[in-house]
Chain A
Amino acid sequence: MISLKDVERVYKTSNATVHALKGITLNVKQGEIFGIIGRSGAGKSTLIRCINLLERPTRGSVIVDHCNLTTINKEALRHARRNIGMIFQHFNLLNSRTVYQNVALPLELMGLSKKEISSTVHPLLELTGLTEKANEYPYHLSGGQKQRVAIARALVNKPKILLCDEATSSLDPKTTHSILQLLRDINEKLNLTIVLITHEMEVIKSICTEVAVLHQGEIVEQGSVLALFADPKSDIAKEFVKAATRLEMPIALRRRMRPQPTSTTHPVLRISFMGQSAQEPFIAYVIQHYELTVNIIQAHLETIRDEAIGIMIVEVMGSADNIQNAIAFLESKGLHIEVLGHAPRST
Chain B
Amino acid sequence: MGMAFQTAAGMASNGFARQDAQALRAVYQQLLEDIAFSYDEPKYQLAMLSYALSKVVSKPRFWRAHKQNRYWEETRRMLAEMEMQAREGRMKEARRILSQILERVETAEEQDPRFVRGLVLKARIKSASTFYASGLSLGRAAELSGLDKREILSYAGQTRMNERLSGTISVAARLRSLKSLMEK
Do A and B originate from a single complex? no
